[in-house]
Amino acid sequence: MGLTAAEAGADPRAKTLAPEGLAGAEAPAGDATRAAHLLGRATALRASVGAPLPEGERGDVTRIEAAARAGSTEADSAGFAAGVGS
């Protein structure tokens, strides 16, 4: 399922997993800003639907976040904030 399809669907879990998964591809590919934005978006979506990050998925998201931060600049912090605001 792609990001657009997940966002159009009714499954709140898919709506959060899709941007997290895409961030997992973007961070190691060198686009830390996009990864940060996607993680911020997923965080905001989780908050809006009352679906906290399950403990079993925390390791994946932490790994993705670390990869994004490794290639990060100050602009990437803005990307995370922008994601939270989107």
- pLDDT at 86 > cutoff 60: no
Q: What residue type is assigned to position 69 of the chain?
A: R
Cβ contacts of 57 within 8 Å, gap of 6 or more: 17, 20
∠ CA(26), CA(19), CA(27), 5° rounding?
20
In this prediction, residue 25 has a pLDDT band, given cuts at 50, 70 and 90, of very high
Give CA–CA dist 17/9, Å, rounded: 12
Residues 17-22 have a mean pLDDT of 88
Q: What pLDDT score does 76 carry?
A: 58
26-30, 60-64, 80-84: least confidently modelled range: 80-84
Q: How many CB atoms lie within 10 A of CB 74?
A: 7
pLDDT tens-digit profile of 37-67?
898 888 888 888 888 888 988 898 888 888 8
